[in-house]
Structure 1
Amino acid sequence: MDIESFALERWLAEHEHGAAVNLGDSGVRPLEADRFDTDPGRLGYVIPTNGDPDLRATVADRYDRAPDELLFTCGTQEANLLAVLATLDRGDHAVCVTPTYQSLHSLPAAVGEVTRVELAAPDWTLDPDAVADAIEPNTELIVLNNPNNPTGKIHPQEMVDAVYDLAAAADAYLLADEVYRPLAEPDERVEPVAGMGPHGVSTCGLSKGWGLPGLRFGWLAGPEEVVTAAWEWKDYTTISPSAFGQHVGRQAIEREDELLAENRTHVRRNRELVAEFVEEYGLDWLLPAGATGFLTVPEAFESSEAFCRALVEEGVVVAPGETFDRPGYVRVGFGADRATVADGLERMGRVIEDRRSA
């Protein structure tokens, strides 16, 4: 298996440590540990290693799935890895909707062949006909991120239904990374793909919507044959979910309504700050769900990377569009505490004004 370097993670590794303001993150500001009971008792393996059956039943129910159709993982990232390994073999083909989080196309490309279907700017619209054109006789997997990272686009139900039908007709699986779905307003949410039928696989976790990235607690839901194959691969990765993560994760899931309402309010207020910034400096973006926006680069800068490097000099880290194979944009995370977001936007404004006056 040969996998390409993860451009976004390498960029963040180079610049976020020691930055005065980090707007490169894509989740909600982490919750304090003292809001939970943090003593799981003995720190042994979780038994059974696919996760506590009662908690699996609780989470699986939201997908109309049985407990054995859900696997707890080390974050959504591991869930995506295991989903790809469970559905693709060497020589298989996948269709991946981009731009997206790099692992959602790099992981399939490390196993088989990939055809990308690009979202159409500026509204980042998904064209099901383009997905249909990309499907080949050996297509086993179609990959979607909904809501989308980096753009914040929610693909509406009719679009997801159409892509699911294409996957079913091709006897392929539709894998949807839905880690930002909890941050979407309830009336905006699309049905989870794993609840749509035998060809749907959903991944999610507590990092983004719940503001608990340090738990590294996620899951994969879908047909039993996919979940069983993923569990067998997990024997070679993390074996079981984290005992600590599962212990705190259970409490977070029990308090889901409270925590998600709090975090959605937080993100909504911060989104208003970014919207004011976008308007003030004549930029463009799609008003996003989730906690990231994909902003156009100010005209005074020759590239998104040049803009981002100028921001680093001002102490601010954001993600250049090149890390998503979309030059001309920057991904700005606005899930941090409000003062941090305001500080970062003020610094970004100074960089733009200094360049315009130079």
Structure 2
Amino acid sequence: MDIAPFELERWFAEYEHEADLMLAESGIRSLSTERFDLDVGELGYVIPTNGDPEFRAEVGARYDRPAEEVLFTCGAQEANYLAFHALLDEDDHAVVVTPTYQALHAVPEAIADVTRVELEPPEWDLDVDAVVDAMQENTEVVVLNNPNNPTGKYHPQGEVEDLYEACAERDTYLLCDEVYRLLAEEPIDPVASLGEYGISTSSVTKSFGLAGLRFGWLAGPEAVVDAAWGWKDYTTISAGKIDQHVAKQAIDDQQSIVPANREVVRQNHDLVADFLDEHGLDWHDPVGVNGFVTVPEGFEGSRDFCRQVVEEVSVVLAPGGCFGDAFDGYFRIGFGLPTEELADGLERLDDFLAEH
């Protein structure tokens, strides 16, 4: 299997460890371990290796699915990876809506034939008809990320349902990475709850602020979940025991954690929006913690701009070119970090733009 280099992760590897501030992070500020019980007794495997049945049933209820239709994974990244291996082989075809997190198109492209369908700027609207036109007789899965990373676009319920129905009519699965869903003030229904052909992946990384747990899940038809579990035997075998233990506490405490995180997002969103207005920069008003911002004039694309920013004021941004050459006129800013760090980063960006 030949897979493309992960452009964004390679960018971070080059600059993140030496920079003062990370304004490209796509998650919410991290929670402290102090609020959780960390005592799990012996550190053996999670048994059964697909996850604690009662906890899987609790998560499955969010999708109107039983425990047998949920697989616990090491983050949504693994959930997506396993799902693609469960669904695709070299004779199959997939459609991926882009721009998106690179793993959502790079992994399918390493296995099968893939057609990308781009969202339409500046509103990053989803063209359901274009997705349908891209489907072939051997299309096994259509891939969506909602709310979208990097644009922050939240495709509405009606459009997602229309896309699901088009997939179901063609015996094609709709897989939706929904890691930012709970950060929306009014989350739409998850795709896995829409019917037989719906698959949802998610985690506690983004909405809960628990990236270090590396805990996620796949929810969907039992045949797909079972096939993904078979692939998991060759990756991580099971989720971590501490990860599952803490994740259950966080999900049980969702009514405390998620509203507080939404408040952080609201405050930080307004800081960034005011900054962009002051500097004449544009974005589609995002849901979640990512914004896709136009590169200021005078720079040779997103990598040139972001490289100069990190080298001159020690602030990391994400070049839009890392999401595909078509998006080199944008950069991603993440605003889920602690507010004081965001304010510091924006002040440095203000100084940088004043010099240029």
TM-score, reference length from structure 2: 0.98
Distance 1:227 1:29 in 2: 31
Distance (Å, rounded) in 2 between the aligned partners of 1:119 and 1:206: 26
Alignment of 1:34-113 (within 5 A): 34-113=34-113
Asked if 1:270 corresponds to 2:271, the answer is no
Between the aligned partners of 1:96 and 1:166, the Cα distance in structure 2 is: 15
CA distance in 2, matches of 1:294, 1:336: 16
1:206 aligned partner = 204
1:31 alignment partner in structure 2 = 31
Distance in 2, Cα, partners of 1:143 & 1:169: 16
Distance 1:303 1:347 in 2: 20
Counterpart in 1 of 2:125?
Answer: 125
Q: 2:338 aligns to what?
A: 337
**Which amino acid letter does the alignment assign opposite residue 273 of structure 1?**
L
Matches within 5 A, 1:11-26: 11-26=11-26
Q: For the Cα contact (< 8 Å) 1:200–1:222, is it kept in 2?
A: yes
In the other structure, the counterpart of 2:328 is: 327
For residues 299 and 132 of structure 2, what CA distance do their matches in structure 1 show? 37
* Aligned: 1:144 with 2:144: yes
Check if 1:287 corresponds to 2:285: yes
User: SS at the partner of 1:140?
Assistant: strand
Structure 2 Cα separation of the partners of residues 271 and 300 of structure 1: 26
Superposition deviation, residue 295 in structure 1: 0.5
In 2, are the aligned partners of 1:76 and 1:219 still within 8 Å (CA)? yes
- 1:324 corresponds to which letter in structure 2? F
8 Å CA contact 1:16, 1:24 repeated in 2: no
Look up the equivalent residue of 1:63 and give its one-letter code. Answer: Y
Q: Which runs of 5+ in 1 are unaligned?
A: none
Q: Deviation of residue 200 (structure 1)?
A: 0.4
Structure 1 length normalisation: TM-score?
0.98
Equivalent-residue separation in structure 2 for 1:297 and 1:40 (angstroms)? 48
- In 1, the alpha carbon distance for the partners of 2:231 and 2:166 equals 27
Report the CA distance between 1:302 and its aligned residue: 2.2
How large is the Cα RMSD of the aligned pairs?
A: 0.7
State the 1:334 CA deviation: 0.6
1:259 equivalenced with 2:257 (yes/no): yes
Cα distance in 2 for residues equivalent to 1:126 and 1:9: 26
Q: What's 2:166 paired with?
A: 166
1:193-230: CA deviation from partner (whole Å, max 9, x where unpaired) = 00000000000000000000000000000000000000
- CA distance in 1 between counterparts of 2:291 and 2:323 reads 13
Runs of 4 or more consecutive aligned structure 1 residues displaced over 2 Å after TM superposition:
none
Instruction: Report the 3-state secondary structure (helix = DSSP H, G, I; strand = E; otherwise coil) of the residue aligned with 1:84.
Output: helix
Rounded to whole Å, the distance in 2 between the matches of 1:351 and 1:163 is 43
How many residues align structurally? 353
Alignment gaps of 5+ in structure 2: none
Tell me the residue number matched to 2:155: 155
SS at match of 2:175: strand
SS at match of 2:196: coil
